[in-house]
Structure 1
């Protein structure tokens, strides 16, 4: 098979590093074949990338918005042109079936094109002063160097989100992709931005081997040049990084895990509910932070809903993510498979019943529906990164809301009802970052303020990210002599 990308080494200061650096094998989660030998970075590589980004920052921040706009639009065109290459790469490196791969590519192109115009947004405000003769301005300025952690699960689009939001507002970037997706969450972005003509040092990528993220993170948190951290990943890791950011007095944006409920009210369209649930729960094998984890369905329609959902679930094609039509591909690695198996086995041991699924063929785990799951089962309250869904009948919307709110997470939720006012009233009661009425829990668009609260993190994406990746500077000009009390 020909190489999936041209480069597998670090990209620092506009150059690809020497090929004799230490490497590690990047493996296909479905076949276990080696996709590429990728550079295993050290703290020294990370520091070199930080230094390059710091040196490039003044010119990038001062670049006219029209010039930056042309670069982002060029990058979007390149991604669009290379779409089929990236579909193949995502299947080989992350087990992503073509449906989700194409979604990620389209989403990334849209993000690049929308962000291209963000440099033209108003950069601040003129303020009124109580002091006669004083002119005051609050002006938004980019922070400087932003260090990004990109995950493997939505590798391509989430890496672009990690990069584009800070850079569109004038910051420079150092990106550390997950060791499970160093190509599609890191190095291919460097290829695209290099071809698009981004200045050297504005964007840098440092990869690392399995279990070796620590020294890279140390460089990020200990360098005075890094002004902000942009992290997408688990809540447990996010909490540790937030503690480090607090000690270092660095800003941090956290897009973390979720335990996302879907309410199916008694007036919901049953077919819509089934299709929405199957998509929300099982898309990308349940390995997306916004996947539906629990359905709270009105008891009057619960039996019919479960029967139809089980039939739909059994019909989902499973297997090789590179094969046309595959919906359910492999879990990312053996650890992920073991956790899913453990969570299902624990639930069954505590009295849960498997309606469908519950078995694995290699790393491909069947989409699984559980009922009668006790509240003490970990799968009932902790994020399980796999194709496992709990269905729980409820007597009324009040009980549904009580169950839905009983979680430390606060990422997203869904409500299915024919009554818009009823849906809006329930949506107001959720303590989460996103609520979708008559849509799946996964409904993010590039311009929308996606993000969570509580254990699901803080910060927002889209053009709302200006709050996270700029700071406000007050400048005053006083005409005439002031009278001071000394």
Structure 2
């Protein structure tokens, strides 16, 4: 793949106002495979203004037309599944199954949003005056700014904007500089081809390290009424603070230190592949990935042996190869964090059950740690890498206490043959979502998703997003003859 990708503003692909470009570096090959326009603050403002102008059109078309566009865009994404596999492999290092999941989930999210285009967004309210009818009506909020990460880029871009579009808003997507195609342009192109009017969807990419001022200018623009950010907690804090100062509603889907609790009655032979999946899928670069496996002490040795053996056998390599299970980390910063956390854990007494510091460039082997000290960084930091730690506990109370010993609260999982006991334990986990007898990585587009505490606030998905992306207005209709 070679060439140039320009900004998408008001339905047209245009170069940056500065005419600057940046190289889209591939973690798979270590070289650039595409040049991308490096947007400026001026470009960002142009995109917001285009989206604002398009509100008059998109906000007033029939929900039937909005539904048709979203459904057609879903079909377009699916029709290009094989092409998107290569883009994912080159841009993010994602293997074919990860690319396919992104396409499938993005299409499902668009279809779910299409169904919500006709959602009831108002209600009749009583009045003390029999000749007055009070109506509470929800109308489009305005321009939505979506700041999209690189790790599950197509899914998260779609989750950020699909329902917003369904109920009549317009959007500006600022994709991660690590994945501008998969975190923004692929979705925008499908929507454009599906017939969405000019200016309804805009994409402004920015060069690595140059996004702060561009994002701030958009958050502060009066036309932007909603901000969606999916990414790290430190960056999310700064964007939420900026949105709050400007009285903008925001949804923050941030980091996690996700626990999976394995009770003594669990079938470890059955569940080891699922535990490996939730720990190492996409090289562990998933906000929902399991960082900590908390297991009853009577089963700890068996689980350590089984998971280490499974992890050691996983194929790490070029994501373009069909048998590859774990591709590269996204960049050198991620690789440095991986080696730092492992070395620090070992320094504080942890045992490496498999994997190690012998990383091959960005290609990191899955690591299973035991005996991790609370003094180690990996005990409390999000790994965002193929690293999982196993902690033995004596009972459910200890498991809950350890699982909740974190500033994060995104997602968790409980594995047990006793469904009632598992459900009771799940209720005690301080996270936004819990899987009972399922891996921590997984959600559904019609179910609201989001975290607690340092994992963010607000929810994306389902009817909750209809409320998120609309404003409630009250109309007092006087003079009716009942």
TM-score (norm 2): 0.97
Name the counterpart of 1:67: 65
Report SS of the residue matched to 1:11: strand
Deviation at 1:132, TM superposition (A): 3.7
How many pairs are equivalent? 478
Is the contact made by 1:264 and 1:273 (CA closer than 8 Å) also made in structure 2?
A: no
Name the counterpart of 2:429: 430
Structure 1 residue ranges, 4+ long, deviating more than 3 angstroms after superposition:
none
Report SS of the residue matched to 1:147: strand
Pick aligned residue for 1:95 from 93, 96, 100: 93
Deviation at 1:184, TM superposition (A): 1.1
Larger CA deviation: 165-174 vs 225-234: 165-174
Deviation at 1:313, TM superposition (A): 0.7
Deviation at 1:307, TM superposition (A): 0.7
Deviation at 1:222, TM superposition (A): 1.8
RMSD (Å) for aligned C-alpha atoms: 1.4
Name the counterpart of 1:441: 440
Report SS of the residue matched to 2:293: strand
Residue-by-residue CA offset, 1:222-270 (whole Å, 9 max, x unaligned): 2111111111000010011111111111111111000100000011111
Residue-by-residue CA offset, 1:15-51 (whole Å, 9 max, x unaligned): 1104882101001102112110100010000000000
> Where does structure 1 lack aligned partners over 5 or more consecutive residues?
482-486
Name the counterpart of 2:470: 470
Is the contact made by 1:259 and 1:411 (CA closer than 8 Å) also made in structure 2?
A: yes
Deviation at 1:461, TM superposition (A): 1.7
Deviation at 1:273, TM superposition (A): 2.5
Name the counterpart of 1:410: 409
Q: Matches of 1:472 and 1:378 in 2, distance apart? A: 45
Deviation at 1:465, TM superposition (A): 1.0
Name the counterpart of 2:219: 221
Report SS of the residue matched to 2:388: strand
Deviation at 1:339, TM superposition (A): 0.6
Name the counterpart of 2:459: 460
Deviation at 1:315, TM superposition (A): 1.2
Larger CA deviation: 460-469 vs 146-155: 460-469
Name the counterpart of 2:42: 44
Name the counterpart of 1:142: 140
The answer to whether 1:360 aligns with 2:373 is no
Deviation at 1:363, TM superposition (A): 0.5
Is the contact made by 2:8 and 2:14 (CA closer than 8 Å) also made in structure 1?
A: yes
Name the counterpart of 2:274: 276
Is the contact made by 1:94 and 1:180 (CA closer than 8 Å) also made in structure 2?
A: yes
Report SS of the residue matched to 2:330: coil
Is the contact made by 2:260 and 2:294 (CA closer than 8 Å) also made in structure 1?
A: yes
Deviation at 1:69, TM superposition (A): 0.8
Is the contact made by 1:119 and 1:168 (CA closer than 8 Å) also made in structure 2?
A: yes
Name the counterpart of 1:291: 289
TM-score (norm 1): 0.96
The answer to whether 1:400 aligns with 2:370 is no
Q: Matches of 1:105 and 1:476 in 2, distance apart? A: 45
Q: Matches of 1:375 and 1:14 in 2, distance apart? A: 52
1:211-360 → structure 2 map (5 Å cutoff)? 211-358=209-356, 359-360=358-359
Name the counterpart of 2:7: 10
Report SS of the residue matched to 2:5: coil
Deviation at 1:167, TM superposition (A): 1.0
Report SS of the residue matched to 2:36: strand
Is the contact made by 1:7 and 1:187 (CA closer than 8 Å) also made in structure 2?
A: no
Is the contact made by 1:145 and 1:228 (CA closer than 8 Å) also made in structure 2?
A: yes
Deviation at 1:7, TM superposition (A): 5.8
Pick aligned residue for 2:158 from 160, 173, 186: 160
Q: Matches of 1:382 and 1:350 in 2, distance apart? A: 15
Q: Matches of 1:352 and 1:131 in 2, distance apart? A: 72
Report SS of the residue matched to 2:413: strand
Q: Matches of 2:116 and 2:401 in 1, distance apart? A: 40
Q: Matches of 1:345 and 1:212 in 2, distance apart? A: 31
Name the counterpart of 1:484: none
